[in-house]
Amino acid sequence: MPSIWAETLAIFIKELSTEWRSRQGLLAGGLFSVVAVVAMAFAGVNARPTPTLQAGMFTIVLLFAACITLPRVFLIEDEQRTLDLLRLLARPEAAFLGKYGACKLQIIVTATILSCLYVFLSGVSITIPWMLVAALAVESVTLAATLSIVGVLVSGARNRWVLAAAVGLPLLLPQTTLSIGALRFAFGEGTQTAALQNLSGLGLFAIAMTSFGPALANAMWKLER
C-alpha cells in the first residue's frame, strides 16, 4: 500500500489538474476579487481611508475570494458523484491533506495578485513590508485550513453551499479580526506588539485547524459509508 504522503501528493496533483482544466472556481473567484478591489480603490479616491479601514477592506476581499473558490475543492466529489472513487484512491487523511495543499496554493497565489493590485490602485502606503508579507502568508494558510474544515463538515449535505456559509461564519470571524490587526500595522497604524500578537493568533488558529482536519475527515467519511 502506498504511504500516506504518496497518496497526499497524488490527491494534490489531481486537485490542481482538475481546477486548471475546469477553471470555474478560479474564474469566479478572480472576477469577483478584481471587481471588488477596483471598486474599493475608486471609493477611496477623494478621501483616503485610514490604514485600519484599508486593512479591513482588503481582508474582506480576500475572505470572499477564498469562500468562493476553496470549499469547492472539497465539494466537487459531491457534485460529480465521485466520492466512492476518491475513497479508493486515498485514505481520508491523505485526501484531506492533498486537498488542503491545493487550497493553500490557490489562496496564496490569489492573495499575492490581489495585494499587488490593491496597492497599485488604492495607493496605500506599505510602512512595514515584512509584516504585510507575513500577514498575507499566515492569513492565507489560516483561510485554507478553516475552509477545508468547512468543506469536510458540509460534504454530503443537501444544501451544502448554504450550510457552508452558516458553518464557516463562527470560524472565519475571529481570524478576520486577527488579520485586520496584523495588516493595519503593515499599513502604518497600531503597534508592533499588537500586530505580532494578532499574527501569532492567526498562526495558532491555522495549526489547530490543520491538526484537526485529518481526524475530522476520517470520522466524516465513516459516517457517510
Q: What is the largest CA-CA distance in the chain?
A: 63
CB 143 within 8 A of CB 105: no
Q: Which of 40, 63, 29, 19 is nearest to 169 (CA)?
A: 63
With a cut of 80, say whether residue 44 has pLDDT above it.
no
pTM to 2 decimal places: 0.87
pLDDT of residue 180: 94
157 — pLDDT class (breaks 50, 70, 90): low
CB 44 within 8 A of CB 126: no
pLDDT of residue 130: 93
Counting Cα atoms < 13 Å in the Cβ hemisphere of 179 gives: 27
Q: Which of 19, 206, 8, 17 is nearest to 98 (CA)?
A: 8
pLDDT of residue 197: 95
185 — pLDDT class (breaks 50, 70, 90): very high
Domain containing residue 29: 4-224
pLDDT of residue 84: 67
CB 180 within 8 A of CB 55: yes
Report the number of distinct structural domains present in the chain. 1
pLDDT of residue 129: 92
Count the neighbouring beta carbons within 10 Å of the beta carbon of residue 165: 13
